[in-house]
Chains A and B, each alone.
Chain A
Amino acid sequence: MSRADLLLSVAGLSVHYDSIQAVDNISFEVARGEIVTLIGANGAGKSSTLRAISGLIPYTGSVNFAGKDLRNLAADRIVAAGIAHVPEGRGIFGNLTVRENLQLACWQRKDKSKIAADLKNVFALFPRLEERSKQLGGMLSGGEQQMLAVGRALMSDAQMLLLDEPSMGLSPVLVREIFRIIREINQAGKTILLVEQNANMSLHIASRAYVLETGRIVLSGAGKELTGNPKVIEAYLGG
């Protein structure tokens, strides 16, 4: 990967929660147009890494995005820089309608015509959201909420999406659907950093993958390669 293609580079990132070290000096890179996945068990530090990138928690080390240092930037400035984070648990605004949820993702945007076009795209990608646009976010099913969360991320016109366990709590059919959509979004030009426990599915769609264990990167490589790695098979793919 050449330097020019580099979109996100994380170097020496560490995150502490009081005395507990959640992320321990990890470094990784994501190139423009890639799907990169971080896999690992519970508590491996995957979500903390994403939270640090989007400025929700303090960290040491450096995060560079599109040539911009994200350190000391507030969360809303990081969104403006072009990163959209779909948090674990989706973070749907339950008492607001689906449409309002989508509009909120454009909070900083002023380009009205582009917003309207983006809304059309999101509705084309998720027809269910259009059908339910007047319903409250809290009334949606888990799968629909996940679609709304991804839809919101698309509405912020970000170059890069951070997806935190999009498959969590969904039925196998919906999981496949979500992964299909992630691929589709990627092919439409968004760079994706995907955090997953569902190693099998995420390794299949990822161009590259990093395996985290208790806050450290223990393995990395092309997604398809890692599916054949005995260590990964043993730990995540169930033999």
Chain B
Amino acid sequence: MSMTKIKAAGTALLNQWRFLAGLKYFWPVFLAAGLAFCIAADVYDFVDLYLQLIIIYVGINIILTASLNLINGYMGEFSVGHAGFMAIGAYIASILTVYVFPQNTAGILFPAAILAGGMGAALVGFLVAIPSFKTRGDYLAIVTLAFGMIVKSILENIDAVGGPRGLLGMEKLTTLPWVFFWTALCVWVIRNLVYSNFGRGVLSIREDEIASDLMGVNTRQVKIIAFVVSSFFAGIAGGLFAHALQFINPRMFDILKSTDILIMVYLGGIGSIAGSILGAVIYTVLLEILRPLGVWRMVFMPLMLVLLMIYRPRGIMGMREIRLFTPLRDLVTEKLWRQKKKEASDASP
């Protein structure tokens, strides 16, 4: 096949993709179909259980990655304590379903438990954000690092939640439909946030904080809100994680877990929703595929990261977005602008 044919096929494919991306009803249809598939898979059990678990982990990791990307990618701060917020969500949700909720109602009240986990993490995120954002830069990295350690050692020293042995007795309540729902919600919220006026404020902090102040952006408030939203979703992910694995202990949420999330963020690309999804999917699936390699996969993965940082330092999708995630109004203005430009260039010669 000649080069031009390949090119033509590529353009055709791209056009089709553009067509798809421009459709107003793509998202509703995709979400409905996805949810229907997840419910069907859950009820009729036609998807391998192992595969289901991997999909659940992918979903949880997407939530973690997208929410951390809000801080590290869009806002340009450096938080390394995401696993700490995840732990808070996991423990709150688990305590609720195991000890607090009456027998046999855990299934119905599961969303409330997850939500409570998220709220708890958000509250703690708020408390951490107030002092940490009084200064700028590396300070936040240190504070969040310390925060992660504090959460872990506090949990290790509370006997009521099992101390270092951990907490068990959760039912397997994290099902495909729930993971799909929370993942979609997280992606939707963060996508809408970054494309809002508020989101422009978040981006401006990354670009130049002093200029951002001079534009009238209330940088302190923006930082705190972004951090709270990010912590909230980390808590949600924690609750889902606890009820997928049915066992948690403090060591699961140490600095290595935070590093995992950071890797997914930088692998997928900072400042990109599509990148967050790609990073989480690739990292999670690749780790599973490489499982037969045993310990060697922990050699292979870092090597891949080193190569990625050399050849694509901003990650796969760094600071770019696929059209499906750009708001329709931006696409429309871009289209108008292109048209105008074309008319101008047609008129000039």
Contact = CB atoms under 8 A, between A and B. Distances in A.
Interface of A: 54-56, 74-76, 79-80, 84-87, 91-96, 100, 103-105, 107-108, 133-134, 152, 156
Interface centre among B197, B211, B212 (most CB of A within 10 A): B211
Given A95-B319, A133-B337, A134-B337, A108 B207 contact: no
Q: Give chain A's interface secondary structure class.
A: loop
Given A55-B213, A76-B219, 18 more contacts: A75-B213, A75-B216, A76-B216, A79-B215, A86-B214, A87-B211, A92-B208, A93-B203, A93-B207, A93-B208, A95-B207, A96-B203, A100-B203, A104-B204, A105-B215, A108-B216, A108-B218, A133-B337
B200 A100 contact: yes
Contacts of A87: 210-211, 214
17 contacts: A56-B213, A76-B218, A76-B219, A79-B214, A84-B214, A87-B211, A91-B214, A93-B203, A93-B204, A95-B206, A96-B204, A104-B217, A107-B201, A107-B215, A133-B337, A134-B334, A156-B216
Given A93-B208, A95-B319, A107 B214 contact: no
A87 B214 CA distance: 8
A139 B197 CA distance: 23
B207 A152 contact: no
A54 B203 CA distance: 21
Nearest to B344: A131
A79 B216 contact: yes
A137 to B, nearest CB: 8
B213 A104 contact: no
A146 B29 CA distance: 46
State the 10 A-B residue pairs at the shortest beta-carbon distance, nearest first. Answer: A91-B211, A79-B216, A93-B207, A75-B213, A76-B218, A108-B216, A85-B214, A104-B215, A76-B216, A107-B217
A81 to B, nearest CB: 10
Contacts of A76: 213, 216-219
A108 B212 CA distance: 12
Contacts of A92: 208, 211
B269 to A, nearest CB: 13
Nearest to A51: B210
Contacts of B216: 75-76, 79-80, 105, 107-108, 156
Contacts of A103: 197, 200
A81 B272 CA distance: 35
Contacts of A79: 214-216
A53 B112 CA distance: 49
A152 B215 contact: yes
A159 B210 CA distance: 21
Interface string B178-214: 0000000000000000000100110110111011111
Interface string B114-129: 0000000000000000
Contacts of B206: 95
A64 B213 CA distance: 20
A76 B204 CA distance: 14
Contacts of B217: 76, 104, 107
Interface in B323-345: 334, 337
A103 B214 CA distance: 13
Given A75-B214, A133-B337, A152-B215, A96 B207 contact: yes
Given A103-B200, A134-B337, A93 B211 contact: yes
Nearest to A84: B214
A76 B220 CA distance: 10
A24 to B, nearest CB: 24
Contacts of B319: 95
A27 to B, nearest CB: 24
Contacts of B201: 104, 107
B197 A107 contact: yes
B323 to A, nearest CB: 15
A43 to B, nearest CB: 19
Nearest to B207: A93
B70 to A, nearest CB: 16
A74 B215 contact: no
A103 B212 CA distance: 12
Nearest to A149: B211
A11 to B, nearest CB: 23
Interface in B218-240: 218-220
A54 B211 CA distance: 11
Contacts of A75: 213-214, 216
A74 B218 contact: yes
A100 to B, nearest CB: 6
A96 B201 CA distance: 11
B200 A91 contact: no
B314 to A, nearest CB: 11
A133 to B, nearest CB: 7
A156 B215 contact: yes
Contact of A94 (B207, B210, B220, B334): B207
A103 B207 CA distance: 15
Nearest to B220: A74
Interface string B293-336: 00000000000000000000000000100000000000000100
